[in-house]
Amino acid sequence: MPLRSNRTSGNRHYAIVGAGFTGSVLAAQLLRGAEVPTTVTLIERADAVGAGLAYSTPNGRHLLNVRAANMSAFPDDPHHFLRWLWAHDGGHDVPPSGQAFVSRARYGAYIQDVLEEARAKAPPHAALNLVRGEATDILPGRDGVRIRMGNGPRLAADAAVLCVGHFPPSLPPAATEEVLASGRFIGDPWNRAAIDATDRDAPVLILGTGLTMVDTVLTLLDEGHRGPIMAVSRRGLLPLVHRETRAFTSFLCPDVMPSTALDILIALKADVRRARAEGLDWRSAFDALRPYHHRIWRHLPPEERQRFLRHLRPYWNVHRHRLAPEVASRIEAARSIGQLEVGAGRLRSLTPTAGGLEAVVAERGRDREWRRTFGAVINACGPECDYRRIRHPLVRALLDRGMARPDPLRLGLDVTEQGALIGTDGRESERLFALGPIAKAPFWEMTAVPELRSQCARAAEHLAGLPQPEPLSLAGLGRLAGALGLGQGRRR
């Protein structure tokens, strides 16, 4: 099959793998800022473009965890999302302040419109292509990259950017082949068909007590689930609820960053005390620290980053990633009537029985275990970040060939702050990049829209400044075709 390329002399061509939030906003930024002939190719294996996993949920009660006022796709236009809301549905439920939590489905529609508007308003010399299918490998070269597709033409581009988002949680050790064969274990919490098939009266065990668990509980309740629900994690911590905050200035000195995990905790507690003295609560202090998150992480030595992840991460997450008040009220109502129970413990085993799966859980802080039988067990432990365990074909190919490597702390892939992949030889790629959750290692936090949109804006500017490779000669095309197994009947 011949190579498919949109490159001509002087034309820049960027290939983006993944058309969720990060990929779509990056494409929009590249189109908006195109000063030279530019082609952007979005590669997406799913049906939906723009929504991604996070915003493709059909459940209208799955709400954003960030207020609408802070959800613009563009850092230089903070009211863009609010204007879209008011223009498209009257915005009757969104006040001028933007202090409202809208559904994720609405936000997915917004990102789709952002991409379409960028395409429609792009200058004549800029174009957007959408390729349906799965990228299975990327081969970098002196003149750019070549992308293998699982079910279509191979693509040529100047640079490729991985925007593949989150991956489902890995299976716990208790999920043996026998357990999986029982049909009672749901390994992917976003498998709507499997959750819909759950017996409405059967008890359900959810592994994890974070945001994914909350979404899973809401899905069960909205499907009319009547049976008891048990959620278990090692610490049994639930995300805290949003409250209206006021402006607060952190006591942290920008020129002197904390050098240990303990220093971070001390600085945060000092801010909380000052905030309370001013009549504010801890949320104002916590939010005031947000502009410094990336700088704090950058200044922590590796051993202190590890200490933070081991001891502080669970508590940081429940304070940092909060619930919309409407969602928190539903979770509290389910707990108050006894339908939802939240506990702290470690899953020891799962055993198939005639009635479902028998779970044995060791309680945290107690020298005892409990065992119960559940009609279904749902794995909602959060996305997998250890890329040694991820089987995604493209990620696996890059790792196996040494073009990428996991971050030492297993937060994602090892990348530079500009998103350039770092290979097993320690060299930074000039043509392969990664953005979004896959590339959060240099920053610690790179999952929420306020951070992602800024990352996309910076990446678009960086990509536009890449040196322009020379067009391939006929000899070069022949060598490339041979490397890809496209000639003389050769296959790889």
Under DSSP, the state recorded for 125 is T
Helix (H) or strand (E) holding 83: helix 80-89
3 state DSSP class of 115: helix
Residue 246 lies in a domain: no
pLDDT reported for residue 479: 44
Q: Per the structure block, which two tokens stand in for 57?
A: 């949920």
Clarify whether residues 62 and 147 are in a common domain.
yes
331-360 residue pLDDT tens: 999 999 999 999 999 999 999 999 899 999
Residue 247 lies in a domain: no
Domain boundary among 269, 287, 320: 320
Strands 12-17 and 159-162: parallel
3 state DSSP class of 335: helix
Can you tell me the distance from the alpha carbon of 107 to that of 470, in angstroms, rounded to the nearest whole number?
A: 40
pLDDT reported for residue 53: 72
* Region label for 228, one of left (φ > 0), alpha (ψ between -120 and 50) or beta (otherwise): beta
How far are the Cα atoms of 113, 174, 189, 389, 440 from residue 409, in angstroms, in the given order? 37, 24, 25, 14, 11
* Region label for 236, one of left (φ > 0), alpha (ψ between -120 and 50) or beta (otherwise): left
Q: What is the residue range of 287's domain?
A: 261-320
Clarify whether residues 130 and 31 are in a common domain.
yes
- Cβ neighbors of 101 (< 8 A, separation 6 or more) are 63, 64, 65, 66, 67, 68, 242, 324, 325, 326, 327
Q: Can you give the CATH number for the domain in which 142 is found?
A: 3.50.50.60
Clarify whether residues 339 and 468 are in a common domain.
no
Clarify whether residues 147 and 38 are in a common domain.
yes
Residue 254 lies in a domain: no
Question: What's the pTM?
Answer: 0.87
Clarify whether residues 141 and 289 are in a common domain.
no
pLDDT reported for residue 486: 40
- Chain CA centroid to CA 423, Å: 22
382-397 residue pLDDT tens: 888 898 888 889 999 9
Residue 489 lies in a domain: no
pLDDT reported for residue 274: 92
Domain boundary among 320, 341, 356: 320
- Cβ neighbors of 278 (< 8 A, separation 6 or more) are 248
Count: domains in the chain: 3
Residue 250 lies in a domain: no
203-258 residue pLDDT tens: 999 999 999 999 999 999 999 999 999 999 999 999 999 988 888 888 777 677 88
pLDDT reported for residue 140: 85
pLDDT reported for residue 90: 64
Radius of gyration of the chain (CA): 24
Residue 248 lies in a domain: no
Clarify whether residues 157 and 87 are in a common domain.
yes
Clarify whether residues 408 and 433 are in a common domain.
yes
Clarify whether residues 91 and 224 are in a common domain.
no
pLDDT reported for residue 469: 53
pLDDT reported for residue 55: 78
**Helix 104-121 with 80-89: angle, nearest 10 deg:** 100
Closest CA to 241 of 315, 336, 318: 318
Clarify whether residues 423 and 468 are in a common domain.
yes
Clarify whether residues 43 and 110 are in a common domain.
yes
Clarify whether residues 279 and 310 are in a common domain.
yes
How far are the Cα atoms of 20, 34, 219, 296, 403 from residue 456, in angstroms, in the given order? 12, 14, 31, 21, 22
Domain boundary among 270, 297, 320: 320
Clarify whether residues 299 and 424 are in a common domain.
no
3 state DSSP class of 48: coil
Can you tell me the distance from the alpha carbon of 300 to that of 260, in angstroms, rounded to the nearest whole number?
A: 6
Residue 194 lies in a domain: yes
Helix (H) or strand (E) holding 152: none
From first to last of the 492 residues of the chain, give the pLDDT tens digit. 333 444 444 689 999 999 999 999 999 999 999 999 999 999 998 887 877 777 777 788 888 888 889 999 999 999 999 999 998 876 677 888 888 888 889 999 999 999 999 999 999 999 999 999 999 999 987 789 999 998 777 899 999 999 998 888 989 999 999 999 999 999 999 888 999 999 999 999 999 999 999 999 999 999 999 999 999 999 999 999 998 888 888 877 767 788 999 999 998 899 999 999 999 999 999 888 888 889 999 999 999 999 999 999 999 999 989 999 999 999 999 999 999 999 999 999 999 999 899 999 999 988 899 999 999 999 999 888 898 888 889 999 999 999 999 999 999 999 999 999 999 999 999 999 999 999 999 998 888 888 999 999 999 999 988 776 554 444 444 443 444 444 433 333
171-180 contacts: CB < 8 A, separation 24 or more?
171/379, 172/207, 172/347, 172/379, 172/381, 174/347, 174/348, 174/349, 174/350, 174/359, 175/350, 175/379, 176/350, 178/352, 179/350, 179/351, 179/352, 179/357
Residue 147 lies in a domain: yes
Residue 153 burial by CB count (10 A; 0-12/13-18/19+): exposed, middle or buried? middle
- Cα dihedral 44/42/116/45 (nearest 10): -10
Tokens 């996070």, residue located: 54
Under DSSP, the state recorded for 310 is I
